[in-house]
Structure 1
Amino acid sequence: MSIDITHNENAQRFETTIDGHTGYISYQDQGDTLVYDHTIVPSELGGKGVGSALVKHALDYARSHDKKVVPQCSFVATYIKKRPEYAELVK
């Protein structure tokens, strides 16, 4: 399944809506650092890789914008722990 993710800057989150259900990862912008604080995936979208796709998108965004990340959300922290290619982003 291809997941289309958009950056909702006003709400400070990356989000996707599938079949009327919206999943997102929210952040706090602290200048050169993004604090990823919540990853929300409705149960209707669970098990489809939505959470991982959102986190990957958010981390790739941070990398391409030369920002560090604080993985306040445990889902984000676990994702990074399993993928050492993102470890250098952690502040």
Structure 2
Amino acid sequence: MKPEFENIPLQKNETFKRFEITVDGHLAFINYGEFDRQIALVHTQAAPELKGTGAATAVVEKTLTFIKENGKLLLPYCPYVFAYIKKHPQWKSIVDPAFVGYANL
């Protein structure tokens, strides 16, 4: 994650079911579903003003850290999150082994 995103807090917006960061007044977020021991990440999006800034990567990294710190298992349905984990295999440790694409990570 780029240093400029390190001090931006991650918000868990339970009303809209998304993890969010706000950068210069613009939103980057991941929609989620939460179950007893699992969190499914389904869609990552960043405002057009944040394109190319690294905000989407920052919200992914912060969300994965949240999942790890809270002892949850990840279901990475979002293609962006799935690709991120494939590039950073240290995060595979939080993916639920029952996830249908687990062997492809």
Q: Is TM more than 0.5 here?
A: yes
Q: What residue number does 2:94 align with?
A: 89
Query: Which ranges in structure 1 are unaligned for 5 or more consecutive residues?
Result: none
Q: Take 2:31 and 2:78, find their aligned partners in 1: how far apart are those partners?
A: 9
AA in 2 matched with 1:2? F
Q: CA deviation at 1:7?
A: 1.9
Whether contact under 8 Å (2:5, 2:55) holds in the other structure is no
Q: How far apart, in 2, do the equivalents of 1:65 and 1:57 lie?
A: 12
Equivalent residue letter for 1:31: D
Residue 10 of structure 1 is matched in structure 2 by: 15
Q: TM-score, normalised by structure 1?
A: 0.90
1:30 counterpart = 2:32: no
Tell me by how many angstroms 1:20 deviates. 3.1
Q: Secondary structure at the match of 2:52?
A: coil
Q: Which amino acid aligns with 2:40?
A: V
In 1, Cα distance between equivalents of 2:21 and 2:71: 24
Partners of 1:35 and 1:62 in 2: CA distance: 10
Consecutive unaligned residues of structure 2, counting only runs of 5 or more, are 97-105
Number of the residue aligned with 1:61? 66
Task: Give distance in 2, aligned partners of 1:22 and 1:87.
Answer: 26
1:20 aligns with 2:19: no
Larger Rg: 2
Equivalenced residues, count: 91
C-alpha contact (below 8 Å) 2:5/2:58 kept by paired residues:
no
Q: Using the alignment, how far apart are the partners of 2:76 and 2:92 within structure 1?
A: 11
TM-score (structure 2 length as normaliser): 0.79
